[in-house]
Amino acid sequence: MVYVCPMPRRTITSHDVARAAGVSQPTVSRALRDDPRLSEATRRRVLETAEALRYVPSQRGRNLATRSSGQVGIVVSDLGNPFYLQILDELHRALRAGQLRMLVLTPDADERVPLERLVDGSLDGAILTTTVLDSELPTALSERGFPFVLLNREVDDSSGDVAVVDNHAGGLLAARELLRAGHRRIGALFGPSDTSTGRGREAGFRAGLAEAGVPLADELWRRAPFDFEAGHRGALEIAAAGPTALFCANDILALGAYNALHGSGVRIPEEVSLVGFDDVLLAGWDVFQLTTIRQDIPALVRAATDLLLTRLANEGNPLPPRRVVLAPTIVRRRTLGPPPGVRAT
């Protein structure tokens, strides 16, 4: 028996579509871009022909023709945090609606994303989600005229677009909510001081306690990385000082604290109330039912995407930096109650 190796199928090109549809190759390109200058009949004939031939447009050719990659870089350094997984999921949806693809970029061993990975011509713009306050990347991108948006975190004196929640207001809201419930011996697990989220939430929370004349004793607070292990460790340290409530500057810290307190036999909220920040999907699970300060992640991502799309559409007409700040809200769930011995009102 003789086996014949089939010849590889030839790749269908836009010229093949043009010949089959009886139009020019530029007309095919315009039809695939929904160019309004084409008649509906011509556009439909080209699209039906392309589908019949199973034609797949060349992204490389499109890039050369439009000087655009159709791709946006998403810089994120904490893929273990469910908050950023939600951010990426929403960004994927929003960018796809804007006919853009996303490329996720993570830091190297030095916790930096090399500038060359962003400005090598393979990306149209970038969204930075985990920027620290001393990051040089936003300034470097601004100096090169590269379109970008700071999402979730920002830096001082940024010349780029920003989409964030009001972190100070969120910290203030958490403090007032705990005070309203009757707590006066309150602990806090703040985030890193080199992030705008950590700094803003801590400042707001301290301001809320100060306006009520309630002190935050040294033994009742810590600064920690935004991760589960830090929440677990920090909660055990603070619990030894006897708080009736604990504020955590993000939900992952709060879930780590919940795990530590629950594992130590502490009843939540009967003995210690717990409040987080972000309202990640895990916070609403029945096993946790975490009271938290909510930032509207879909709205935040839409704001960041709109900022970037507007800047990309106006590259020849530079816009001044724009800043969108969303208001946080409180989501009351099972982990917040009155202090021990105080009846709920």
The number of folded domains in the chain is 2
Q: Look up the domain containing 102 and give its range.
A: 71-165+296-326
pLDDT at 31: 85
CATH number at residue 309: 3.40.50.2300
Question: By CB neighbour count within 10 A (0-12 exposed, 13-18 middle, 19+ buried), where does 186 fall?
Answer: buried
Do 319 and 208 lie in one domain? The reply is no
Strand-pair category, 71-75 with 101-105: parallel
pLDDT tens for each residue of 22-39: 988 878 878 877 777 788
Distance, in Å, from the CA atom of 192 to the CA atom of 262, rounded to the nearest integer, reads: 25
49 falls within a domain: no
pLDDT for res 343? 62
Query: Are 173 and 233 a contacting pair, CB within 8 Å?
Result: no
Per-residue pLDDT tens digits for 86-130: 999 999 999 998 889 999 998 875 667 778 888 888 899 999 999
Contacts of 239 (CB under 8 A, 6+ apart): 187, 246, 260, 261, 264, 266, 272
| Whole-structure pTM value | 0.80
Write the pLDDT tens digit of every residue in 55-86.
766 544 554 444 567 899 999 988 889 999 99
Q: Do residue 128 and residue 272 come from a single domain?
A: no
User: Is 147 within a domain?
Assistant: yes
Q: How far apart are CA 257 and CA 243, in angstroms?
A: 13
Is residue 242 within 8 Å of residue 47, measured between CB atoms?
Answer: no
Beta pairing, strands 186-190 & 245-248:
parallel
The per-residue pLDDT for 120 is 84
Tens digits of residue pLDDT in 233-291: 999 999 999 999 999 999 999 999 999 999 999 999 999 999 999 999 999 999 999 99
By the 10 Å C-beta count (0-12 exposed, 13-18 middle, 19+ buried), 119 is classed as middle
